[in-house]
Structure 1
């Protein structure tokens, strides 16, 4: 009769075998001439370096290793088409594993990069607002006064977004922590990324909402924005 320990070991071995098979399939695919030519067509002499960054990304994420290899390539090609690195440290894009498929999504820094590339923006920024810094906030006019010298603690009470265009148009928005929690509860309750990196997800929510309402979007930006929304709908089951 099999003991609990032996059954557990069998399950672990089965899972490891599955991971090894997926990993081999991924390596075979990304090293194939067809995939290499696709990356080279877009990236030229930077293709090999980018492919290596994808391999490093997959090797560092056990959930990503279990995804369909083609979905990983497709998600990374979306990043390539926008000339954005998949390096996690840069926070330009995320390759999100969900239901054994990899999905492309813009990070808040990726949004900033794409906006500045349009040549229409002078500056774009999203910041955390800490306890004591917010002096006033007019919700109707969406005007607020922040004094950065009055930080009382490391407790984040909200998030502020700002952009200025070369034509002189400016826009600033403020989301309280309560507003952000309500957004998460209503739209992203099942999205575990909020548990892993709340600040990054909150900043992404602010900039995405801000530019969709008041920003000027290039065709490239509109495409990335729509793909971003579709990934959220897929991950959150909407």
Structure 2
């Protein structure tokens, strides 16, 4: 089997465009014994199905297709190690293209999945708060009063997070839309397009991550996911 470098040179000589070159290189890498064995080691008989989902993910994203194939494999392997699907419909994780490199990012639904799997959490959730629903929020005592049935419009005024552990410990948090906008503007650069393409998902992720980092109990697996998530933010917004 040709190396990635020699294969790329062959494709360039044939006059293939960049997208076709990257697609061929990715498929070549995915079909290598080394990559197959990595997926199979974790996923067993579900490895080929998962690998097909990786190809589907990349084929549906032009910018991701232009990323270095090795970085795509590395990002997806992080998801594999955490037991999370790369299916965009599930919204557990994001594979973020940036400067021709694919980067793993954990969505708020991924945080929920990992925490429930941890076995120490009875319930965990994060929601949009619409106009009319917020009765009161005491940031000192962290007392939150929301009436879901009092929604007046589709205008989102904030985001609320909540978790309860099996030992009885509970935590509620609330971020106003103004606070979330300020956080986004101060901590994320214009290079991070996630806030523009899916603001609500990023806002929920922010609430979830902040809440857990301060008050949650994180397993070794959850700490790994959290660290990888932070690394992606640092890479995208620190350049």
Normalised by the length of structure 1, the TM-score is 0.92
Does structure 1 residue 18 correspond to structure 2 residue 18? yes
Report what 1:8 is aligned to: none
Question: Equivalent residue for 1:223?
Answer: 224
Partner of 2:112: 112
Distance in 2, Cα, partners of 1:22 & 1:119 = 41
Structure 1, residues 33-85: CA drift from partner, whole Å, max 9, x if none? 22111101110000010000000000000000000000000000000000000
| Counterpart residue number, 1:186 | 186
1:31 Cα deviation after fit: 1.5
Matched, 1:87 2:90: no
Instruction: Kindly state the Cα deviation for residue 16 of structure 1 after the two structures are TM-superposed.
Output: 7.4
| 1:157 corresponding residue in structure 2 | 157
- Residue of structure 1 equivalent to 2:100: 100
Distance 1:109 1:19 in 2: 31
Number of residue pairs matched?
A: 224
List runs of 5+ in structure 1 lacking aligned partners: 1-14
2: distance between equivalents of 1:185 and 1:197?
A: 15
Provide Cα deviations, 1:117-153, integer angstroms capped at 9, x if missing partner.
1110000000000000001111211212111111000
Structure 2 portions without partners, runs of 5+: 1-14
TM-fit CA distance, 1:189: 3.2
Aligned partners of 2:59, 2:53: CA distance in 1, in Å?
A: 10
Paired residue secondary structure (1:88): coil
